[in-house]
Structure 1
Amino acid sequence: MRKVWKSLAGAVSALAIAAAGLVGVATASADDTTDSTASGSDSITITNLAPGDTYAAYELLTVTGASGTGADAKVAYALNSKYTAVLQQVTGQTTPAGIIDYISKLPDDAFTGAGSSATTGGDAAAVRSFAASVMAAIKDAKLEPDQVQTAAAGATSVTFDLPLGYYLFNQTVNGAPSTNTNSSFIVNTNLSGSQSIAAKRGTVTLTKKVKDNDPNGDVTGSTTWIDSADYNIGDKVPYILVGTIPANYSSFDTFKYVFTDTLSKGLTLDQSSIQVNVVNNPNTSTASAQNITKYFTVATSTNADGQTVLTLTNDNLKAIQTADDGTAANIGPNTQIVVSYDATLNSNAVIAGDGNPNTASLTFSDNASNDGSGETTSTTPEDKVAVFTYKVDVNKTFDVGKPADNDLPQFTLYKYTGTDANPTASSEGWVEYTNGLETSATKTVTANADGTYTLSFQGLDAGTYKLVESHTPGGYNTAAPEVFTINADHEITSDDPKLLGTTSPNVTLNIQNTSGSMLPSTGGIGTTLFYGIGAVLVLAAGIGLVVAVRRRRA
């Protein structure tokens, strides 16, 4: 049954969901006459796709006649009998005339999404609801699409060669599920002349960062968020997770958003420090934050590797209307959801090596074609950051003998906090060093079974240190203070940050105690002196005897 439809094409050419971003093409109206020249086919190309994206086309109405162009175009439509029952169910109309009239009254100017018109894309909620209902009814009726196209490897578009008609396009496969949400439905009239529709795909990303604490350490002057840092054991380490909102966010009725963060055993989560903010206009001078922590369910668990797993779950971002301070919450494509928290580097921390990583991911609703109800979700790739910490080892030797077991050397460790570029042992600014593992700055050398003597301080941040022998065994000279620097060099921008260079930043010192001066022989000032004096006396006595004899002979 045919019905000449006046002004329908003007509406349907603008019917696009925000994520699909319909580029308005043929506008048309209809009057009481038809033109058989409307027979034939033409093409619709959907662009801005990822390889593997798949779209299905459903011809809801056929074009039975058309004449004129632009604002003067006139089009006549008829129901495609394949979808008659579906359209009757969705519209509540029983006649073709009633169904076409229902569709013609769908708004064509209610654009509230990323665009403001048919040509820049938008979101007419009534159209989205109509398209979702039609697609649901098609699935229930188990009707196959009229044509299916998949973007080939390396391609960013698909082209449909179709009879002239009024079509519903539905993305059925997301070619990049780790980051992209499915495009919404697209409804459009295909008239004479090839048309191009840019799908406004939605991308969700997750970025995890850590902040370094030492402006004089490995990242000079660093106060920015980076991918690796170094700390003392016992320090609190700040982290952030930054999630984005897809461009087709307005096409969803509900939107699930779940952060998952796994902390290594060397990190202890401070749950009280967790905060979630909406950041408006990120990366601009006008950026502002709104606290929405109360809308996220926070949970922790321990995995099979003994690591802490933190999850922050919101089942529907769309339901958040106000921030914690009562102001209107502005969540949309120009915002970010930012989680911040602290974790303490604990005594289980790995020294140097691969460091103490934690990894995060973001799970989100990915299918606007299913009303964004959480029916399907995707998860971003994991993003990893790492925190490093180091140690100093001391090999203690003695040039002669060895000390008594109850009189072993002791050393005190100091860290430099002054301003000298190249501090010496006598510079101002040395403070005794302790951390969450090394609770005393002074330690006693250990006598090992193999006859060696060693000492170690672990869990040190990058920086300059001084080791001073604070107790010297009897019979030995005190070793000179040792000034050393832990130079940490690690990747600050990496998906899997590692220490750089071929040498470890761990420091090894070799410190020797030398014995004192040789003591004099037994007998006070020594028998040699007495022997010398005796020889002189004997010689003098001999000379005296010779003189006496000569006098007598004279």
Structure 2
Amino acid sequence: MMKKVIKKLLAALLAVAMLCAMAVPAFADDNTYTITINNPVGTYKAYQIFSGDLEGKILSNIVWGTGVTEAGKTDLGSAKDRAATLTNDASAKVFAKEVSKYLGEASGSYADGKISGLAAGYYLIKNDTVGDNETYTSFILAVVKDVTVEPKGDKPALEKKVKDANDTDGTTTNWQDSADHDIGDDVPFKLTAKIASNFDDYTTYKFVFHDEQSAGLTFKPGTVKVTVAGNELKASDYTVVTDPDDGCTFHVVINDLKKISDAAANAEVAVEYKSTLNEHAVIGSAGNPNEAYLGYSNNPHNSNDTTTTPKDKVTVFTFKVVANKINGDNDKALKGAAFALYKKGQDSTWKLVGLNNATEADGKYTIVDPDQTKFDWVGLDDGEYKIEEIITPAGFNSIAPQTFKVTATHDETSADPKLTALSGNMTSGEITFTAKESDGSLTTDIVNNVGATLPSTGGIGTTIFYVVGGGLMVAAAVLLITKKRMENK
């Protein structure tokens, strides 16, 4: 009896096993596939453009997929004929732009760079969202197995640069990340960006240069020059906005680069302009920063979508010379002086930087504050300088002109430029400087010594003459008396 029960049980288990084995091919016919996206940007959706019968790895009997709307199926015509036109990347891009107008329901599900649960077919893969400073990408892909792809989206990057100049030797640097200038100088700046490599995918393409200047820089709108691929644009090709509502100092707007004949993939777009370093400039290591970023079109399928690049910064530095007037007899502060500071030009002539504590009229100087003992000249850069004492305290000797050279170094290739060294070295004279990078100062003591004392009436000098003179008179009298006595004998 027990043997019969065991035989029936084994027979039942065998039947279940055979049923399961027969079910395997049925599940295999319902395979789905996964697209893995390397280095994903934002999130993605997959739209089935074409469907059909999968035999091996070949899709035949092609029809429109579930990702195309009914209107699209009508307007786009035969699915089989349109699929036959996809012979290379260029034709696929053209078709992708066209079919994007008729997208319906997305297929599969996206998570962590993978779109899973996709039936066999041709799919348009496109960004659903992107992060900050990123661009939308899309591509058509045949899915007849699990596949891995690398998005080929491109985005511009912006560089901001500044030039440095030395007024004494006439040298000018290349474009770099820092400079030092005198207050009053017109400082040259340049913004540069490259058009994205997928420029041809766009119907319209917008560039907006945003520039944020510190209080120490005054923008000069009339100096703006814009070039594309090295060729200067007409003023009507762009707009300079001097009162934007986003906190920037100004914008340079090119509404549609597709209308500029020289615009092309990877072409360089540059904006050059000047700003004056003004009286509000920060002296020393904090410097006067100037930041910029680019706004640009980032979605080939929607001309209204834009994003921005990260900001890029340059910094302009400026310095000061401080002179303390000192009494050479007691090392105390000395009143009653005035000075003039000159800077040597590249033609070797000395140009007046400024008077300190004096006014001038008809070649004559008048002191402003007879009690002033400290003198400073603010807003200087590198170069050769000369200090002359134009009014000397009464009773003191004037100093000879003092010439010296200001030298500064700062980061020329840095995302956040810093002042690294500052010095003042004498070329003729006796003064020495103490440098302090934090406040950009070169400080020195200028010493006056008391003048030589001349003899005065009633003084010891006159007394000597009196004594000597009186002595000579007595000697003469003695000689005269002696002579007469000898004659009488």
Q: Paired residues, what number?
A: 439
- 1:104 maps to 83
1:361 and 2:293 correspond: yes
Give 1:394-543 correspondences, 5 Å limit. 394-399=323-328, 408-417=336-345, 429-434=348-353, 447=369, 453-501=373-421, 503-504=436-437, 505-520=440-455, 522-523=457-458, 525-528=461-464, 530-531=466-467
How far did residue 319 of structure 1 move? 2.9
1:391/1:308 CA distance change after superposition, 3 Å: farther
1:314 and 2:239 correspond: no
Q: What letter is aligned with 1:199?
A: P
User: Alpha-carbon deviations, 1:331-388, whole Å to 9, x = none?
Assistant: 12220111111122222322224222221111112223xx2311x2211122111222
Q: Is the 8 A contact 2:333 2:373 kept in 1?
A: no
- 2:55 maps to 66
How far did residue 522 of structure 1 move? 4.1
User: Alpha-carbon deviations, 1:300-334, whole Å to 9, x = none?
Assistant: 02889xx87111223322233xxxxxxxx131222
1:373 and 2:364 correspond: no
- 2:424 maps to none
- Percent identity, please: 30
Q: How far apart in 2 are the matches of 1:395 and 1:433?
A: 20
Choose 517-526 or 356-365, whichever is displaced more. 517-526
Q: What letter is aligned with 1:360?
A: A
Q: How far apart in 2 are the matches of 1:126 and 1:452?
A: 77
1:150/1:53 CA distance change after superposition, 3 Å: farther
Q: Which runs of 5+ in 1 are unaligned?
A: 1-35, 110-117, 152-157, 280-287, 321-328, 420-428, 546-554
Partner secondary structure for residue 243 of structure 2 = strand
Q: Is the 8 A contact 2:325 2:334 kept in 1?
A: no
1:250 and 2:203 correspond: no
1:345 and 2:299 correspond: no
How far did residue 462 of structure 1 move? 0.8
Q: How far apart in 2 are the matches of 1:78 and 1:436?
A: 87
Q: How far apart in 1 are the matches of 2:225 and 2:102?
A: 41
1:382/1:404 CA distance change after superposition, 3 Å: closer
Partner secondary structure for residue 414 of structure 2 = coil
User: Alpha-carbon deviations, 1:72-95, whole Å to 9, x = none?
Assistant: x56234555x55xx432113179x
Q: What letter is aligned with 1:181?
A: T
Q: What letter is aligned with 2:302?
A: G
How far did residue 392 of structure 1 move? 1.3
User: Alpha-carbon deviations, 1:70-123, whole Å to 9, x = none?
Assistant: xxx56234555x55xx432113179xxx65235335x324xxxxxxxx3xx436
Q: How far apart in 2 are the matches of 1:439 and 1:476?
A: 18
1:46 and 2:28 correspond: no
Return the match for 1:197 from 143, 146, 149.
149
Length-normalised TM-score, structure 1: 0.68
Q: Is the 8 A contact 1:444 1:455 kept in 2?
A: no
User: Alpha-carbon deviations, 1:226-266, whole Å to 9, x = none?
Assistant: 11111222221111111221122222222221111122222
Give 1:178-197 correspondences, 5 Å limit. 178=133, 180-184=134-138, 186-192=139-145, 194-197=146-149
User: Alpha-carbon deviations, 1:397-436, whole Å to 9, x = none?
Assistant: 234699998xx333222223369xxxxxxxxx34132379
Q: How far apart in 1 are the matches of 2:322 and 2:308?
A: 44
How far did residue 209 of structure 1 move? 0.8
Q: Is the 8 A contact 1:66 1:76 kept in 2?
A: no
- 1:163 maps to 119
- 1:55 maps to 44
- 1:155 maps to none
Q: How large is the Cα RMSD of the aligned pairs?
A: 4.1
Q: How far apart in 2 are the matches of 1:259 and 1:173?
A: 24
Q: What letter is aligned with 2:391?
A: H
Length-normalised TM-score, structure 2: 0.76
Q: How far apart in 2 are the matches of 1:56 and 1:445?
A: 79
User: Alpha-carbon deviations, 1:124-145, whole Å to 9, x = none?
Assistant: 454033331133xx2xxxx454
- 1:6 maps to none
Q: Is the 8 A contact 2:359 2:367 kept in 1?
A: no
Q: How far apart in 2 are the matches of 1:453 and 1:493?
A: 41
Q: How far apart in 2 are the matches of 1:367 and 1:273?
A: 33
More contact order relative to length (CA 8 Å, sep ≥ 6): 1
Return the match for 2:73 from 74, 88, 91.
91
Q: Is the 8 A contact 2:204 2:256 kept in 1?
A: yes
Give 1:2-81 correspondences, 5 Å limit. 40-47=31-38, 49-50=39-40, 52-67=41-56, 73=58, 75-77=60-62
Partner secondary structure for residue 181 of structure 1 = coil
Q: How far apart in 2 are the matches of 1:541 and 1:345?
A: 85
How far did residue 395 of structure 1 move? 0.9
Partner secondary structure for residue 279 of structure 2 = coil
User: Alpha-carbon deviations, 1:180-227, whole Å to 9, x = none?
Assistant: 31112x2222124x444332111111111111122878xx95531011
Q: What letter is aligned with 1:190?
A: V
How far did residue 297 of structure 1 move? 1.7
1:291 and 2:233 correspond: yes
Q: Is the 8 A contact 1:210 1:228 kept in 2?
A: yes
Q: Is the 8 A contact 1:300 1:311 kept in 2?
A: yes
Give the strand-richer structure, 1 or 2: 2
Partner secondary structure for residue 129 of structure 1 = helix
Q: Is the 8 A contact 2:340 2:356 kept in 1?
A: no
1:263/1:93 CA distance change after superposition, 3 Å: closer
Q: What letter is aligned with 2:129?
A: V
Q: What letter is aligned with 1:44?
A: I
Q: How far apart in 2 are the matches of 1:128 and 1:526?
A: 113
